[in-house]
Each structure stands twice: as C-alpha cells, then as structure tokens.
Structure 1
Amino acid sequence: MTHTDTLNTLSALRTALVERTEPTADLAERTATVLTGAHARHLAGVADRHEARAAALYERIATHLGPRPIAAAAYVLAAQCAFLAADYRRTAALLADAETHAARHGGDVPPLARLLKLDHRVSVHTAR
C-alpha cells in the first residue's frame, strides 16, 4: 500500500467515524492492509475525541473481515479505542472477542492485548 493509499484510508476512516456511517467491505479491506503494514499505529489516532465511536467502527470492520486472521487485530484496535474511552468492560469484551477469533480462525492476537489486560480496570472484567 502506498503512502497515498494509507492516507486515503485513514481519511475515509475518519469520515466514517465523524459521519457515523457503516464501513463498507472495501474500507474494511483497506483497513486490514493498513493493520498489516508499518502505519498500523496511526489507526488509533483516527479516533481523536471520538474513541467510543471508533471502538464500534473498528468492531464492525472486524466483523466485515470475517474468518480472516487479521480480524483479531481489528478487535484489539477496537479494544484500544474502548480503553481510551475509559470503557473498561467493553475493552475486556473486545479482547475476549480477539482471542476467540484467533483461536477459531488462526493467527495471533497482537501483543497490545496483553498490555491492556494488565490494567486493573480491564482485568476485573476478564474471565479467569
């Protein structure tokens, strides 16, 4: 993915977030490409001041990605946004979704998931 494609994807995500539109399958695919690349760290920045909505957007994108292993990363990104929105119960639920997805469809859960689960506000909502 070129730098321009990445910027266009980030812009489209921000527009979907602000305008509260449903992400298309194409946007989900483009997001998956960014998630696997060097610019994945910028995806959380799209949420700026709209973290709860971003969590919902990235969760819907994960659903669009279906059984592909990259969907686990989208769930963790959604969990990161929920964490930034101080919704720790939802963070824990999204992390559980990521782990369940990875177990069913292969792939790895990004290391950020372990870090988020270390926070006591999240860990009280995780199943033991």
Structure 2
Amino acid sequence: MTHTDTLNTLSALRTALIERTEPTADLAERTAVVLTGAHARHLAGVADRHEARAAALYERIATHLGPRPIAAAAYVLAAQCAFLAADYRRTAALLAAAETHAARHGGDVPPLARLLKLDHRVSAHTAP
C-alpha cells in the first residue's frame, strides 16, 4: 500500500467515524492492509476525541473481515479505543473476542492485548 493509499484509508476511516456511517467491505479490506503494515500505529489516532465511536467502528470492521486472522488485530484495535474511552468492561469483551477469533481462525493476538489485560480496571472484567 502506498503512502497515499494509507492516507486515503485513514481519511475514509475518520469520515466514517465522524459521520457515523457503516464501514463498507472495501474500507474493511483497506483497513486490514494498514493493520498489517508499518502504519498500523496511526489507526488509533483516527479516534481522536471519539474513542468510543472508534471502538464500535473497528469492531464492525473486524466483523467485516470474517474468519481472516487479521480480524483479531481489528478487535484489539477496537479494545484499545474502548480503553482510551475508559470503557473497561467493553475493553475486556473486545479482548475476549480477539482471543476467541484467533483460537477459531488461527493467527495471533497482538501483544497489545496482554498489556491492556494487565490494567486492573480491565482485568476486573476478565473471566478467570
């Protein structure tokens, strides 16, 4: 993905977030490409001041990605946004979704998931 493609994807994500539109399958695919690339760290920045909505957006994108292993990373990204929104119960639920998805469809859960689970506010909502 070129730098321009990445910027266009980030812009489209921000527009979907602000306008509260349902992400298209195409946007989900483009997000998956960014998630696997060097610019994945910029995806959380799209949430700026709208973290709760971003968590919902990335969760819907994970759903669009279906059984592909990259969907687990989208769930963790959604969890990161929920954490930034101080919604620790939702963070725990999204992390559980990422782990369940990875167990069913293969792939790895990004290391950020372990870090988020270390926070006592998240671990309080994690099943033993």
Hey, what's the Cα distance between the residues in 2 that align with 1:127 and 1:112? 18
State the 1:105 CA deviation: 0.1
State the 1:65 CA deviation: 0.0
State the 1:32 CA deviation: 0.1
Q: SS of 2:122's equivalent? A: helix
State the 1:25 CA deviation: 0.0
Q: Could you list the runs of 5+ residues in structure 1 that have no partner in the other structure?
A: none
Hey, what's the Cα distance between the residues in 1 that align with 2:71 and 2:127? 21
Hey, what's the Cα distance between the residues in 2 that align with 1:77 and 1:100? 15
Residues 28-81 of structure 1, C-alpha deviations (whole Å, 9 max, x = no match): 000000000000000000000000000000000000000000000000000000
Length-normalised TM-score, structure 1 = 1.00
**4+ residue runs of structure 1 moved beyond 6 angstroms?**
none
Match of 2:39 in 1: 39
State the 1:6 CA deviation: 0.1
Q: Could you list the runs of 5+ residues in structure 2 that have no partner in the other structure?
A: none
CA RMSD, Structure 1 to Structure 2 (Å): 0.1
Q: SS of 1:68's equivalent? A: coil
Hey, what's the Cα distance between the residues in 1 that align with 2:43 and 2:96? 20
The number of aligned residues is: 128
Q: SS of 1:115's equivalent? A: helix
Length-normalised TM-score, structure 2 = 1.00
Hey, what's the Cα distance between the residues in 2 that align with 1:44 and 1:31? 12
Hey, what's the Cα distance between the residues in 1 that align with 2:125 and 2:39? 30
